Structure formats: structure tokens, C-alpha cells
Structure 1
Amino acid sequence: MENNIFYEGQVLWSQIDANVHLRHSAYADFCAQARSNMLNQLGLSLSEFNQKKIGPILFREELNYLREIGLDERIKVSVEIIKFNVKNSRFSFRHEIFKENGVKAAVVVVDGAWMDIVARKLTNIPEEWMSIIHKIPRAADYLEINE
């Protein structure tokens, strides 16, 4: 479980829903923060995105709930890349969210691409970012596409 952990934190009161467990949108927030932390650690910070006028966007987010997460629990979120298209820079990431006792509570898969934030159109990443992309932890079922 300790591999590829890019977010650790406590579940806050504001993240709890009427059923007294973690609200659905908080899972997405935790995964987004884990992705951001991972990219930042590898050298792609928000300032780098702003400098190049490129940002990541999501097309799809799939969440499988496995166990409840409650108030004040500590969680860990892993990130792995599961698919990358070299030609058009589209990507897929898998996140696993673990409870403080090590039990997997959720699996989140996102599909996305990169957008030119000025033109508001999909774009490829700069060539100098490719070395960073290749440092992202890869899943055992990773698929690289060249078409």
C-alpha cells in the first residue's frame, strides 16, 4: 500500500454528508490533490502549467466504493498512470484510497488530456515534459499508445 502514495490526510467535518460518511465529491477532491502533489513532486507545478499555458482536463471519472470512510479517519491516496497516448497526450490514472487501517476504501479512475488554456483546445504536451511523464508511477497493467 505504501507505494505511490501522494496524499495523506484527515477527513474533515466539512467532507461528511448526511449519512455521516465521506461525501462523494470529496473522493474526487482527494484524488485531484494526489495527482497535483505527484506532478509537482516530478517537476510539473502549477506555475509551470501557467508558464506554458497548458492545463490538465478530465473527460471521465469513475469511482468504485469499497468501504465507508468516516469523520476524522486518516486516509492515503495512491496514483498510478494506467494509459498514455504519446501522439495526443491523453492519459488515464488509477487512484486507490486507503483507510487508516490499510483497507482499500475506493478505486477512482480518471481519463483526461491537456488543454491549451488560451486557445481553449486540446493540445499535446511540450516535448520537455515527456521525461517527467515517463517518471509517473506506472501500473502493472500500464498501456502506452502510439497512434
Structure 2
Amino acid sequence: MSVYYHKFEVRWSDIDANRHLGNSTYVDYCSQTRMAFLNKNKIGLTQLNRWGVGPVMLHERYSFFKEIYADQTVFVGLEVAAMSEDGMIYQFVHKFYLPDGTHCATAEATGVWIDMMLRKTTTPPEDILLVMNEYKSENVQTISREYLKTLPFRPENIDVSLLENFK
């Protein structure tokens, strides 16, 4: 089991009106941590393009414990908390830490690998599976397509006429 950490220097533009790290910045930091993780493990955009696969996030949720301010350093961890047997579905847990080890927030991100041409879920190449297995948490769970049905939101289309007054 390994945990990957990515370091951020909190910029002025990362702060919201309450003078702490903005909600959208947490999303950006998690996304950048995932891409840095992939790059570090030789699964960057060039390799993903060669394989014709890409990671897609389906659901993210956050819990916040302590504020993070401008000019602070923050470390965002990444570990694989859950994965389907074939690796097509995955879940990362990101933990935000200050340099003194203070745990400020946790994020959970569930995603799938897709075939970039077909735009459908696919099993990732063995190289990706090897890296994902290296970063599994101690309590990693096995999940399946059935797990995706338990995510809290489902698509709910509406009648387009409801939007007419807002065009």
C-alpha cells in the first residue's frame, strides 16, 4: 500500500470571499493530484491517447474539517479506496494535510475508464491496473456496476417547455 502526495502552494486566486480555500479549488486540487499521480506513474496524456482510454469522474463528495488559507502549503493525498475486479470502476480518496500533519479535508471521487473512440466504459490496460493496485488502501473494497446504481443522483430529464421563459 502506498499513498501518493501532491504539494500545492495556496494562491490568492484559490481563495473565496470567506478568505479560505474555495470549494471549486478543492475540486481543482483533487483533479490536479490525480493527473500528477498518473503522470508520475507514466500514465500521462500521451500514454492514455496511445491506449485510447481516459479517466472519467462520475461522483465526488467532500468533508471539511479545518480551513486552509492563502500562502499556506497543502499536501493532497491519493489512494485507491475501491476498485472493480477488472479495474474499470475505481474510487480515489484524497486527504488534505497541512505541513504539520493537520488533516483539513477528505474527498471521495468515483470514476470509470472509458474507450475514447466508443465513449463507453472499458477495462484499462494492464499498466494502469498495476499502478492502481500499488496504491490501494489497506481497507480497499471491491465494487461493481451495481455500486454505480447506489450513487445518490440519477438523471431526471424535464420538459423543454419549462425552460422557455428563461431563454
- Judge same fold: TM > 0.5, yes or no: yes
- Gaps (5+ residues) in structure 1? none
Once the two structures are TM-superposed, the CA of residue 58 in structure 1 deviates from its matched residue by 0.7
- CA offset digits 1:56-81 (Å, max 9, x no partner): 00111010001000111100011110
List 4+ stretches of structure 1 deviating above 3 A: 144-147
- CA offset digits 1:92-115 (Å, max 9, x no partner): 010100123321000000000011
Alignment of 1:1-147 (within 5 A): 4-87=3-86, 89-135=88-134, 137-145=135-143
Classify the secondary structure of the residue corresponding to 1:9. Answer: strand
**TM-score normalised by structure 1 residue count:** 0.89
Once the two structures are TM-superposed, the CA of residue 145 in structure 1 deviates from its matched residue by 4.8
Provide the C-alpha distance between the structure 2 equivalents of 1:120 and 1:32, rounded to a whole number of angstroms: 20
Provide the C-alpha distance between the structure 1 equivalents of 2:83 and 2:4, rounded to a whole number of angstroms: 20
Task: Give percent identity, aligned residues only.
Answer: 28
Provide the C-alpha distance between the structure 2 equivalents of 1:145 and 1:69, rounded to a whole number of angstroms: 33
- CA offset digits 1:89-145 (Å, max 9, x no partner): 10001010012332100000000001112221111112343223222x221211235
Structure having the higher strand fraction is 1
Classify the secondary structure of the residue corresponding to 1:36. Answer: helix
Aligned-pair Cα RMSD in Å: 1.8
Provide the C-alpha distance between the structure 2 equivalents of 1:125 and 1:30, rounded to a whole number of angstroms: 24
